[in-house]
Chain A
Amino acid sequence: MKRWPAGTMRIVIPSSEGYEKTVAAAVRVFAVGTGLSETRAEDLGTAVSEACLNAIEHGNRGLADAAVVVTVTHHRNELLVEVRDCGRSRLEPDAALTRPDLAERVAGRVPPRGWGIYLMRQLVDAVEFVAAPRHNLTRLTVYLSSRKEREHD
């Protein structure tokens, strides 16, 4: 029998839009089980679905047979979600360090998209991007007793 670390869950999905919902639902249930509030678990689920969408659309360029691997780890006061793609193209997260300009978008001067990374940063405590030679990794961290958690209480 393959050994598996306690407090860890792994989900593998194809690069097909819609699967990210399934992952988000599983992560929400897992997160609530670790003691995260329902509200923050919903935030985490949405952040995870956005990370998966990025992996599907950009990292894997929508190639259905390219896997997205999501690993969730609970360790003490921390929930860590890692979303890994096959690195078909490199993610460029630095472009989303600030809030996208909505006024420019409603004026039709720039395309309306580009909210995913910004929302991830708003919804969890820390977001980190790692571009490796053969994959991109998005790492989302939620602290179980963080400022955001207390704000929601």
Chain B
Amino acid sequence: MTEELTVVSRREGDAVVFDLAGDLTKKAEMAVIEAYQRATVQGARRLLFNFRAVKYINSSGIAVLIAVIAEARKRDQEVGGFGLSAHYTRIFEMTGLPQYMTLYEDEGRALSK
């Protein structure tokens, strides 16, 4: 069954990293949006999603990310991600998502940009 998503946020310079664990589906919407809103209140300019511990993403989960990207663009925040599996990297590419969410190989590369 669905593994509930947990989001742990941590500050790294001007970025906030969201360590996701579990399944990114419609049920994760509240957790992701709340984490985004907290980061925004704290003045985050860059938002980095750590997908390393995410095993399952469906189309509703992709929609959750698009909703965050839409909000971030209104505030000129940059959105990125790392730790995505090869399979989900291809899925993201099919949607065109990397045009709006830069995908990095790992956290080090994401933070050094």
Task: Give Cα A102 to B92, complex, Å.
Answer: 11
Also in contact, A39 and B59, with CB within 8 A (given A102-B100, A108-B70)? no
A21 to B1, Cβ gap below 8 A? yes
The stretch that binds A, out of B5-13, B46-54, B60-68, is B60-68
A-side contacts of B74, CB under 8 Å = 108
B94 to A106, Cβ gap below 8 A? no
Cβ of B26 within 8 Å of any chain A Cβ, yes or no, is yes
What bracket does the count of chain B residues touching chain A fall in? 20 to 34
Task: Give Cα A39 to B91, complex, Å.
Answer: 12
Cβ of B112 within 8 Å of any chain A Cβ, yes or no, is no
Task: Give Cα A112 to B95, complex, Å.
Answer: 11
B-side contacts of A113, CB under 8 Å = 59-60, 63
The 7 closest A-B pairs by CB, nearest first: A18-B2, A112-B66, A18-B1, A115-B59, A112-B63, A113-B63, A116-B59
Please encode chain A, from 41 to 84, with 1 for each CB lying within 8 Å of some chain B CB and 0 for all others: 01100100110010000000000000000000000000000000
